[in-house]
Structures are given as C-alpha cells and as structure tokens.
Amino acid sequence: MTEEQKMLSGGLYDACDPHLIKQLNEVKTLCQTYNNLPPTDLTALNNMIKDMLGKADDDTKILQPFHCDYGKHISVGKRFFANFNLTILDEAEVTFGDDCFVGPNVSIYTACHSTDPQERNTRQEWAEAVRIGNNVWIGGSVTILPGVTIGDNCTIGAGSVVVKDIPANSIAVGNPARVVREVRSKR
C-alpha cells in the first residue's frame, strides 16, 4: 500500500511521505489563490471550490479565508454554506449532508497523533473520518475532532468541542459537547 492508501484506510502512515507533502503544498497554493480572489467574484470562487473539493455544486458557498489539507477528501451536499475561516484537515474523508451551515472559525480535524512523544516524533499518524448529516448547523468557533459523526437535524452550539458522536435531532453544546436537548419537528 502507498502511504496515501494507508492514510485513507485509517492505518498508520508516514506523514512526511514526499508524495503526500507534494499534495499538501499544491493544495496550500490553491487555498492561497482562492483566498486572494475578489470576494465579489462568486463564479470564480464557486468554480475553484468545485475543482478543489471532492464534491461540491453550484450552490456551495465557502467564505474566505478557507484552509484545508487535501480538499479532495471533502464532500459537501446541496446548499452548503460556511462562514469565514473554515479549516478542515482532511487526511480522512469529511462529508456534509444537504443544507449544512457552518459558522465562522470552525475547525474539523481527521488527523490523529500518538500521545507518546517518542511515537509522535516518528511522524507516523492515522486519520479518522468525520461525517456530518443533513440540516446541521455548526456554530462559530466549534472544533470537531477525528472520528466524529453528527446526525441529521443537529445544532452544535458556538465554542463547542465535539469529541464523540452526536445523535440525530440533538442540540449539543460545551467542552466536551454534550446533548442538552432533543429537536422536534414542527410539522
């Protein structure tokens, strides 16, 4: 297996692999270009996001600045909106359903590192996918950690740190985020 295949399968991989470093640097350049486009050139912004991400459409809106590691491991559903300063470390897949809204300064991480300093210094890491359902609102300055799934129809309160799965139809807040209320449909 290549280091990229190991990374995408959730296995230990060499984060300093030259092929991975090359990809990371190419995407940094793409992000820099995206972030320097005129914010009023909505067509250019949307076209670039559709090229950079694994899945996006004409209704995808990500306000500048935006940062990611690979881009191609990020999939967004219909009518996706993200406010300023979204950061996604997409060493594993990050998927959003339809009608997701993301507040400013949100960070989503898939990369995992050993807590043992000697192991960490080998630059071996692994990655765990993040999955976000349909109709999810993620408040400003939320951090979502590797391996988390957020179900449909959830709200994650501003400043929360999501360290474990959040079931569908929930409002979760805090550090660590915990469910404080169930969402009931008004229909």
In terms of residue numbers, what domain contains 34? 3-182
Does 25 reside within a domain? yes
Identify whether 162 is part of a domain.
yes
Q: Is residue 66 part of a domain?
A: yes
Pairs from 170-176 (Cβ < 8 Å, separation ≥ 24): none
- DSSP letter, residue 63: P
Residues of the chain under the 70 pLDDT cut? 185-187
Distance CA 142, CA 124 (A): 27
> What integer pLDDT is reported at residue 184 of this predicted model?
80
pTM to 2 decimal places: 0.95
- CATH number of the domain where residue 21 is located: 2.160.10.10
Within a domain: 151? yes
Identity of residue 9: S
50 lies in some domain: yes
Contacts of 181 (CB under 8 A, 6+ apart): 170, 171
pLDDT at 179: 97
Three-state DSSP at 42 gives helix
In a domain, 187, yes or no: no
Whether the CB-CB separation of 125 and 12 falls below 8 Å is answered with: yes
Position of tokens 């990611």?
A: 68
Give the pLDDT of residue 187.
59
Rounded distance, CA 9 to CA 128, Å?
9
28 belongs to a structural domain: yes
Calculate helix-pair angle for 42-52, 18-36, nearest 10 degrees: 170
Residue 136 falls within a domain, yes or no?
Answer: yes
Catalytic residue among 19, 67, 73, 113: 113
Structural domains of the chain, count: 1
Query: So what's the pLDDT on residue 186?
Result: 66
The beta-carbon contacts of 37-46 under 8 Å, at least 24 apart in sequence, are 37/64, 39/63, 39/64
Q: Is 73 part of the annotated catalytic residue set?
A: no
